[in-house]
Amino acid sequence: MSLKIALAQINFLVGNIAANVDNIIKAASYARDELSADIVVFPELTITGYPAEDLLFRADFISAANNAVYQIAECIDDIAVVVGFPERDGNSLYNSAVVLHQGSILACYRKQMLPNYGVFDEQRYFSAGTQPCVFEFNGVFIGLTICEDVWKSGIIDETKHAGAELLLTLNASPFNAGKIHQREAIICEQVKAAKIPLIYVNQVGGQDELIFDGASFVANSQGDIVFRAEEFKEQISVIEFDGNNPLINSCAPLYNKITSEYKALVLGIKDYVRKNGFQGAILGLSGGIDSALVLALAVDALGHDKVEAVLMPSRFTQDMSNEDAITQAEILKVKYHTIPITPAVNAFTDMLTEVFVGTTKDATEENIQARCRGVILMALSNKRGKLLLTTGNKSEMSVGYATLYGDMAGGFAPIKDVPKLLVYELARYRNSLYEVIPERVITRPPSAELAPDQIDTDSLPPYEILDPILERYVEMDQSAEEIMAAGFRYDDVVRAINLVDKNEYKRRQSPPGIRITSRAFGRDRRYPITSGYRGI
Amino acid sequence: MSLKIALAQINFLVGNIAANVDNIIKAASYARDELSADIVVFPELTITGYPAEDLLFRADFISAANNAVYQIAECIDDIAVVVGFPERDGNSLYNSAVVLHQGSILACYRKQMLPNYGVFDEQRYFSAGTQPCVFEFNGVFIGLTICEDVWKSGIIDETKHAGAELLLTLNASPFNAGKIHQREAIICEQVKAAKIPLIYVNQVGGQDELIFDGASFVANSQGDIVFRAEEFKEQISVIEFDGNNPLINSCAPLYNKITSEYKALVLGIKDYVRKNGFQGAILGLSGGIDSALVLALAVDALGHDKVEAVLMPSRFTQDMSNEDAITQAEILKVKYHTIPITPAVNAFTDMLTEVFVGTTKDATEENIQARCRGVILMALSNKRGKLLLTTGNKSEMSVGYATLYGDMAGGFAPIKDVPKLLVYELARYRNSLYEVIPERVITRPPSAELAPDQIDTDSLPPYEILDPILERYVEMDQSAEEIMAAGFRYDDVVRAINLVDKNEYKRRQSPPGIRITSRAFGRDRRYPITSGYRGI
């Protein structure tokens, strides 16, 4: 008996149930009419989008999501539709998958493994299911599972014992560098051990901090991947089963690490702008590497006509900074303005003269410059309805080498989770396609240009030393002792850790940004501001 | 057999294990030497403070906390010490309570009910215990429980069945208005049903958003409260038991609602400033009710010599605003400065003339004024090492009636969870002690003073209508239909809900503030920014 199963790797909008239902119906019709599919499988919590967070506490929202299931069932015939939704049963809510066929519900499964770590808070919302779910379709016994369920062997085994010959898995598995290899390796290991083929459908798209990378796949019962959808793109594909055996289709190749990171960042910007209804994006272009990369990403995401750059030189800005910024804006055909900040800085300096009598210059004066730029950029953002992109990187966010309400101002921080060394790598990667970032921007020593002849290493260890220390301390939770045992100098470790510890207050007010590592600042790393913990 | 049990209601610093251990040892010695206590009971997770959040993922932190238990055991003799700590066992972590006596561990209990709702994320960190814990001390069988365990009957019954004649409960139960009545009513109901006396020890102090209110208590087996410690204060008390029967001691009276809210706000400011090592606080004083209340709170929290006020009039500022601000600063003996913002506003206006050619005035120009004030206040904060207090209230935070990086700038937002009508009530309450806020500040119509003759009701429904709509929509998750069914007009409901829905991005970048309602913005209400959900 042959069975055609479609994988609907779609980009949904969290919270917009009506639009998501429309998308589901369109995709199911396409799978039926164009791909001759018998079954179409959607990602986890299809109807609400993932993660809907505390929207899941709203009774009206849950009612709408539950009603939507019946609406879909009524609208689609002649194909079985497998969608995820938050299922209400009395006072409990389940993360469920339902099989709709010919106007009725053929099966419903409640997710058993609810992740509550990292970026996940599913135990805040859902009760856990307790039973496997197997349904018969065209003579094949098909088991339903959801995301975390298939990362360990328990639920897969249980579902197989309940009679399943084939597993469908609905997922919302977010991207980070290397995640796709980890995901495929772990799940295929389970599949191989259980000797059961598996269809894995993942969500695609950006949702605040998270990028869902798609890369839906099909594994045969030997644990070999016989089909893979593209990464970072919507795609509806079909794979044919001879009984429960998948006929080999095709595998989209996996991007290498740097390409996948770049594509994740582009998708993140594109979806944040689009889904939040902005007219485009603006950013401050300093002639430095961070804003150069963000400009390249923004143009790749939105098109050159949607992006606007602002040069805001001060007396500390070197000529080459302005030159390089203009060169890049011209290469990328981006509209740019030059607004020197000196008049505003002078105004504030005069206004503060009296209250600052007797004090000495310190970071305050540097922050005033950065904040004048923040005021200008926000004024343009407000007036144009364009999203202000913040250009700070993860190394800066870690050590607080940034000014609150100054260069940290903005609605979205695309490279917030990109360490400085990776900023350089991404810039070189982008230039390898064709050069859009002037070479000098990449090769000159980085500087905030807030004081005469300032360079980053006046205040920080070189990034070649700082970045690996930060990775160990921030992402891996290593202690100072462990970091020093790995060969780093006491002074560098102390300097880095102290800065991380005392700058949580800045991070708490930073805009959201795109998560590309396995531990981003944000929902992934929840630290108290008020804290007596000192890493050293 | 008589038993004297001390309740150590202490203010701990999250993350500072060494300081917390010192405090525990000091308090235990005091309980032994001054109060002749046989046992001293501390709050939940005493050693780390609560909530330590993702510090609990750090192996070095957990090692230090586990070692601290032995250190305390070695330092204290002749009194049993009951402390909470994150207990590591293999790869699992438990929220545990341990009884230390004569250098060894007499008993150890692992919390069974792990709250994962509201402000709580305990399932992110801890595995649940599975067994009750009863130990014998001086012939009395004593059961251990932790916080959430005693809010339902199951664990209490189980512990009693295991032989307990008396329950000790270690807690970190945060304040919100009315919480103490709810807490005592629910727990005493369990106690009465199980017929077992209970000693409830709560943490006290401010920790970022949360205020722990203390109010530790003792209930006899009839469910009557026979002892209560003060609210919002450190206190070490002792209560004598005749066998398992508490001898009546004394009950600190409960504050009424408005008094407890005021005291919670004062404690929150005091602890945020103290625990984060600031030199004091500064704020912008506009002559409006919000900054007037925050100034009064700050002076009550820190003393007049630690607080600095800044008047920043523009051409839209009425004379009475400046007069009233100065009057209040003088009543409270607070140092103040007047820095008109016009030079900076004019500078930005000139700098933006060219890029704004052909545009019309809108909120952009109002935001520039607010952001000039933000720059001035942050400059003073940076230069003085004083915390900038943000003066926005919950009604504004809900509807986004505030400027990012403008009046929203600051490190801490004391009245962020105080709706506007409650701002007035709190001001009147404070003046009822003795007048510190000029009457005209309370009686004049509220205005942002960012445009000629502007008042809040130009853009918003009157607060008498807006606040109850917001309470229903934001705190109670009611739908528009439910709110209209409660008697509110369609237009008002639409206006309020739309503003709440579209301003999540501002809230995400707002400073932390003190939670005094049952649902604050922050860890209590986690909404996506990118969201297609529309409440109407």
How far apart (Å, rounded) are the C-alpha atoms in residues A429 and A417?
17
Mean pLDDT of A409-434: 98
Please tell me the distance in Å from A57's CA to the nearest CA on chain B: 7
- Name chain B contacts of A117, Cβ cutoff 8 Å: 124
Contacts of B485 (CB under 8 A, 6+ apart): none
Q: CB–CB of A371 and B376 under 8 A? A: no
Tokens representing residue A484 in the block? 């020093």
How far apart (Å, rounded) are the C-alpha atoms in residues B21 and B71?
8
Outline where B97-200 has alpha helix (H): 122-125, 153-161, 179-194
Q: Please tell me if residue B479 touches chain A, with a CB cutoff of 8 Å.
A: yes
Which DSSP state fits B128? P
Q: Please tell me if residue B347 touches chain A, with a CB cutoff of 8 Å.
A: yes
Question: Sign of dihedral through CA atoms B449, B455, B458, B463?
Answer: positive
Q: Please tell me if residue B350 touches chain A, with a CB cutoff of 8 Å.
A: yes
- Burial of A337 by CB count in 10 Å (0-12 exposed, 13-18 middle, 19+ buried)? middle
Mutate to test the interface with B, among A48, A375, A493 (most CBs of B within 10 A): A375
Above 90 in pLDDT, residue A458? no
Please tell me the distance in Å from A340's CA to the nearest CA on chain B: 8
Considering only residues B252 and B269, tell me which one the structure prediction assigns the higher pLDDT.
B269
Give the nearest partner residue to A376 out of B339, B352, B533, using CB atoms.
B352
Q: Please tell me if residue A123 touches chain B, with a CB cutoff of 8 Å.
A: yes
Query: Cβ–Cβ contacts within 10 Å for residue B35, how many?
Result: 18
Tokens representing residue A127 in the block? 């009760």
Give the nearest partner residue to A378 out of B208, B271, B371, using CB atoms.
B371
Q: Quick one: which of B413, B355, B498, B529 has its CA closest to A412?
A: B529
Measured in Å, how far apart are chain A's first and last C-alpha atoms? Answer: 65
Radius of gyration of chain B from Cα atoms?
26
Query: Cβ–Cβ contacts within 10 Å for residue A19, how many?
Result: 13
Query: What does the pLDDT read at residue B1?
Result: 63
Among the listed residues B4, B111, B306, B416, the single catalytic one is B111
- Name chain B contacts of A58, Cβ cutoff 8 Å: 477, 479, 533
Look at the block and give the residue holding tokens 């940290």.
Answer: A408
Mean pLDDT of A436-445: 95
Dihedral of the alpha carbons of A483, A488, A493, A495, in degrees to the nearest 10: -160
SS3 state of residue A161:
helix
Q: Please tell me if residue B349 touches chain A, with a CB cutoff of 8 Å.
A: no
Q: How far is CA B389 from the centre of its chain?
A: 15
Q: CB–CB of A532 and B52 under 8 A? A: no
Q: Quick one: which of A201, A204, A191, A96 has its CA closest to A151?
A: A191
CATH architecture type of domain B2-247: 4-Layer Sandwich (3.60)
Q: How confident is the model at residue A1 (pLDDT cuts 50, 70, 90)?
A: low
Q: Please tell me if residue A284 touches chain B, with a CB cutoff of 8 Å.
A: no
Q: What is the pLDDT of residues A376-411, one digit of tens each?
A: 999 999 999 999 999 999 999 999 999 999 999 999
How far apart (Å, rounded) are the C-alpha atoms in residues A183 and A212?
13
**b/e map of A407-426 (b: 16 or more CB within 10 Å)?**
bbbbbbbbbbbbbbbbbbbb
How far apart (Å, rounded) are the C-alpha atoms in residues B476 and A90?
19
Q: How far is CA B522 from CA B13, B268, B394, B410, B510, in A?
A: 21, 15, 12, 16, 9
How far apart (Å, rounded) are the C-alpha atoms in residues A289 and A435?
14
Mean pLDDT of A301-326: 96
Pairs of CB atoms within 8 A across A/B: 233
| Cβ atoms B263, B215 nearer than 8 A | no
B98 beta partners? B83, B108
Considering only residues B88 and A455, tell me which one the structure prediction assigns the higher pLDDT.
B88
- Burial of B14 by CB count in 10 Å (0-12 exposed, 13-18 middle, 19+ buried)? buried
Q: Please tell me if residue A360 touches chain B, with a CB cutoff of 8 Å.
A: no
Above 90 in pLDDT, residue B458? no
| Cβ atoms A253, A227 nearer than 8 A | no
- Name chain B contacts of A376, Cβ cutoff 8 Å: 348, 351-352
A389 beta partners? A412
Give the nearest partner residue to B54 out of A376, A380, A527, using CB atoms.
A527
Above 90 in pLDDT, residue B92? yes
Q: Please tell me if residue B52 touches chain A, with a CB cutoff of 8 Å.
A: yes
Q: CB–CB of A364 and B344 under 8 A? A: no
How far apart (Å, rounded) are the C-alpha atoms in residues A229 and B501?
35
Contacts of B481 (CB under 8 A, 6+ apart): A60
Element (H, E) at A509: none
Q: Please tell me if residue B77 touches chain A, with a CB cutoff of 8 Å.
A: no
Which DSSP state fits B199? E
How far apart (Å, rounded) are the C-alpha atoms in residues A286 and A136?
61
Query: What does the pLDDT read at residue B247?
Result: 82
Mean pLDDT of B58-75: 96
Q: How far is CA B506 from CA A405, A412, B401, B468, in A?
A: 13, 12, 10, 21
**b/e map of A118-141 (b: 16 or more CB within 10 Å)?**
bbbbbbbbbbebeebbbbebeebb
Mean pLDDT of B209-228: 96
Beta strand A198-202 with A166-171 is parallel
Tokens representing residue A33 in the block? 């009419």
Q: Quick one: which of B446, B470, B469, B468 has its CA closest to B458?
A: B446
Among chain A residues, the shortest Cα distance to B480 is held by A60
Q: Quick one: which of B462, B436, B267, B457 has its CA closest to B428?
A: B436
- Name chain B contacts of A341, Cβ cutoff 8 Å: 351
Among chain A residues, the shortest Cα distance to B273 is held by A530
Tokens representing residue B395 in the block? 């009604």
Please tell me the distance in Å from B189's CA to the nearest CA on chain A: 23
Tokens representing residue B97 in the block? 């309570």
- Annotation marks residue B44 as catalytic: yes
How far apart (Å, rounded) are the C-alpha atoms in residues A64 and A352?
55
- Annotation marks residue B133 as catalytic: no
Query: What does the pLDDT read at residue A308?
Result: 98
Give the mean pLDDT of chain A: 96
Query: What does the pLDDT read at residue A242?
Result: 85
Q: How confident is the model at residue B18 (pLDDT cuts 50, 70, 90)?
A: very high
- Name chain A contacts of B405, Cβ cutoff 8 Å: 371, 374-375, 378, 405, 409
| Cβ atoms B286, B260 nearer than 8 A | no
How far apart (Å, rounded) are the C-alpha atoms in residues B178 and B173?
13
Please tell me the distance in Å from B362's CA to the nearest CA on chain A: 8
Among chain A residues, the shortest Cα distance to B509 is held by A509
Among the listed residues B108, B133, B147, B188, the single catalytic one is B147
Give the mean pLDDT of chain B: 96
Q: How confident is the model at residue A232 (pLDDT cuts 50, 70, 90)?
A: very high
Give contacts of A 387-426 with B, CB under 8 A.
404-405, 409, 411
DSSP A325-392: HHHHHHHTT-EEEE---HHHHHHHHHHHTTTTTT----HHHHHHHHHHHHHHHHHHHHHHT-EEBP--
Judge if ipTM > 0.85.
Answer: yes
A88 beta partners? A93
Q: Please tell me if residue A279 touches chain B, with a CB cutoff of 8 Å.
A: no
Element (H, E) at A264: helix A257-275
Q: How far is CA A430 from CA A295, A412, A515, B226, in A?
A: 11, 21, 19, 72
Among chain B residues, the shortest Cα distance to A12 is held by B532
Q: CB–CB of A55 and B339 under 8 A? A: no
Mean pLDDT of A220-224: 94
Query: What does the pLDDT read at residue A244?
Result: 72
Could you tell me if residue A87 is left (phi over 0), alpha (psi between -120 and 50 degrees) or otherwise beta?
A: beta
Residues of A tagged active-site: 44, 111, 147
Mean pLDDT of B483-496: 97
- Annotation marks residue B111 as catalytic: yes
Considering only residues A252 and B263, tell me which one the structure prediction assigns the higher pLDDT.
B263
Q: How confident is the model at residue B355 (pLDDT cuts 50, 70, 90)?
A: very high
The domain segmentation of chain B, as residue ranges, is 2-247, 259-456
Among chain B residues, the shortest Cα distance to A123 is held by B116
Q: Quick one: which of B477, B489, B459, B465 has its CA closest to B519?
A: B477
How far apart (Å, rounded) are the C-alpha atoms in residues B85 and A121?
23
Mean pLDDT of A100-124: 97
How far apart (Å, rounded) are the C-alpha atoms in residues B297 and B266?
6
Mean pLDDT of A175-189: 96
Q: How far is CA B475 from the centre of its chain?
A: 16
Q: What angle do CA B322, B324, B327 make, to 5 degrees?
A: 110
Tokens representing residue A305 in the block? 């006509």
How far apart (Å, rounded) are the C-alpha atoms in residues A159 and A131?
9
Mean pLDDT of B318-343: 96
Give the nearest partner residue to B527 out of A54, A375, A509, using CB atoms.
A54
Q: What is the pLDDT of residues A488-522, one digit of tens each?
A: 999 999 999 999 999 999 999 999 999 999 999 99
Element (H, E) at A2: strand A2-9
Tokens representing residue B199 in the block? 């000693």
Q: CB–CB of B356 and A208 under 8 A? A: no
Q: How confident is the model at residue B277 (pLDDT cuts 50, 70, 90)?
A: very high
Query: Cβ–Cβ contacts within 10 Å for residue B438, how many?
Result: 20
Q: Please tell me if residue B363 touches chain A, with a CB cutoff of 8 Å.
A: yes
The class of domain B259-456 in CATH terms is alpha beta
Give the nearest partner residue to A383 out of B347, B356, B379, using CB atoms.
B356
Question: Sign of dihedral through CA atoms B403, B405, B410, B416?
Answer: positive
Among chain B residues, the shortest Cα distance to A118 is held by B124
Q: Please tell me if residue B115 touches chain A, with a CB cutoff of 8 Å.
A: no
Its pTM stands at: 0.96
How far apart (Å, rounded) are the C-alpha atoms in residues A46 and B395?
34
Mean pLDDT of A308-317: 96
Above 90 in pLDDT, residue A461? yes
Q: What is the pLDDT of residues A285-298, one digit of tens each?
A: 999 999 999 999 99
